[in-house]
Amino acid sequence: MKKLILLFYVMSITLFNSICLQGQDITLLGSLNPYPGSAYANIWGYYANGREYAIMGVEGGTTIIDITNPAAPVEVEFIPGPFAPPYEWREIKTHLNYVYVVSEGGGTGSGMQIIDLSNLPVSATLVNTYNTTFTSAHEIYIADGFAYVVGTNQGGMHILSLANPTNPVQVGYYGSSGYIHDVYVWNDTAYASSVNTYDLVNLSNKSNPQLISQSAAIPGIYAHSGWLTEDKRYFIACEEFNVVDLTVWDLQDRTTWDLVVPSWQLAGTNPIHNIFILGQYAHISYYKDGYIVMDVSNPSDPTLVAQYDTYPGTGGGTYNGAWGVYPYLPSGNSIVSDMSTGLYVCRFEPPVPVELTSFTASTSGSSVTLNWTTSTEVNNLGFEIQRRTGSEFVTIGFTEGFGTSTEIHNYSYIDQDLNNGIHTYRLKQIDFDGTTKYSDLVEVQVFFVTSLELEQNYPNPFNPSTTIKYSVPENGLVNLSVYNLLGEKVAELVNDVLNTGEYNVNFNASQLTSGIYIAKLNAGSLVKSIKMSLVK
């Protein structure tokens, strides 16, 4: 497809004009080819502290790229890993502040790499490589605190508990379907792409998974991957041999795979690769046909609505172009990995019957207030308010709309009694005819403190610097000082009026001698203290 190159500079950062199809746009916001001439693999997204990141497999490792400004992506870190030729298979998923990377590479560093992202945007660190029960794998899926690893050198599906995220423990293994190429997990059920068939596996007992049902085998296909529609009724599958490309299966009765769409293909001979579903749209990496978006609100009649070609060439073999796509960033941007040219940051803009001009979230204690504004409404029944729980969204409330209106309307919803952590919300706008549209995601961090806390310094023992974290439950004067064992104050680190919240401070003891020191935290009538060991 035709692209207009607007700007090109160091690190191959490029901006392109949008590609429009059937009145809907995919706009390329920016791109980055950090390792020209290298092969790229799959991609995943990560969000923390108001910043967005693309995590992408590349020849010989994993690159972590800050895409907060999508027009100017910046590589933050490169984590070396085993080489996995010929296509540099490397699959990536996140859990908490960690990223888990598997590849089909062998030799030094083989296994599942665990990378700590907590120090972003400064750096990221490889903290462990799990290789206890497998050393190579084709795919990983993470849901509800468990990693499901398939396509390993041992075959089958390995089920790992991530209760300790840096030291996973295998709690189950499933081998009845033979080699599994890809897997999707929801509600303790695995949807396994098992080369010839798609298999449904009961995971409620992690130590003893059981096959529930199996699809018919379609001659000549390679059952590659798939994803569930938002209502969890339909499984939309991708077949990688360019025989039928996309199939749709009805799983209302989980004991039967009902094939409702036996084939959907783009014109041409390029195979399909990976699919991800968000709302009523399927986001698909289609190799040399690029990134495509399909409307699957009617799963029996999927419709192509937008396309952006990351690979305008015609050569390069069958398997080239867009490898992966990730559409779940809070900004609403999608990221695409092209096997030859790296990262693309895109924006898909579907038409909406209701023009939503703002959607924000704010916190107060353990509550989140959602505010949104519409400038026009057409046949608007109202909005379902949805919050992400685990890997899925659940409806927590409903607000009626104003039908058809050209006036500005403001809406508000309060979600109460939340736990500390990051919470993600979206709106599901519903027309009177049942048509639905989803808003962009908003994320907000809830943090409230109920008691004065002084955490053990890290590192400890230390030389000469260490970090002290503390939490203040109420606004007021806070003092944090360090004393020797004689009770003499040797340093005053904090003496200020602070708001309730979590803080950290660095203590540099370069002028002190080795020994035990006491850090004492005072806030009002509350006192906490810890012992610290300085070893020079």
Q: How far apart are CA 149 and CA 138, in angstroms?
A: 8
Average pLDDT value for residue range 346-358: 83
Point out which residues pair with 474 in neighbouring strands: none
- Where do the CATH 2.130.10.10 domains begin and end in the chain? 34-258+267-283
- Radius of gyration of the chain measured on its C-alpha atoms: 25
CATH 3.40.50.300 fits 453-534, yes or no: no
- Where do the CATH 2.60.40.10 domains begin and end in the chain? 355-446
Q: Which amino acid is at 64?
A: I
How far, CA to CA in Å, does 150 sit from each of 15, 70, 156, 160, 187? 37, 33, 6, 11, 18
Mean pLDDT of the chain: 90
Contact 505, 458 (CB under 8 A): no
Extract the tokens encoding 23: 């009145």
Q: How far apart are CA 381 and CA 384, in angstroms?
A: 10
CATH 3.40.50.450 fits 355-446, yes or no: no
Ranges 84-88, 111-115, 208-212: which has the least confidence: 84-88
Q: pLDDT value at position 460?
A: 95
Average pLDDT value for residue range 494-500: 91
Q: How far apart are CA 137 and CA 105, in angstroms?
A: 8
Place of tokens 């007021």: 476
* Burial bucket for residue 128 (CB in 10 Å: 0-12, 13-18, 19+): middle
Average pLDDT value for residue range 451-458: 93
Q: How far apart are CA 393 and CA 3, in angstroms?
A: 36
Task: Dump pLDDT digits (tens) for 102-153.
Answer: 999 887 889 999 999 999 999 999 999 999 999 999 999 999 999 999 999 9
| Share above pLDDT 90 across residues of the chain, in percent, rounded to a whole number | 74
Contact 259, 215 (CB under 8 A): yes
Q: How far apart are CA 79 and CA 53, in angstroms?
A: 15
If one counts every other C-beta atom within 10 angstroms of the C-beta of residue 477, the result is 12
Task: Dump pLDDT digits (tens) for 461-471.
Answer: 999 999 999 99
Q: What is the CATH number of domain 34-258+267-283?
A: 2.130.10.10
Q: pLDDT value at position 7?
A: 29
Handedness of CA 222, 223, 224, 230 (dihedral sign): positive
Q: Which amino acid is at 461?
A: P
Q: Which amino acid is at 254?
A: R
- Where do the CATH 2.60.40.1930 domains begin and end in the chain? 453-534
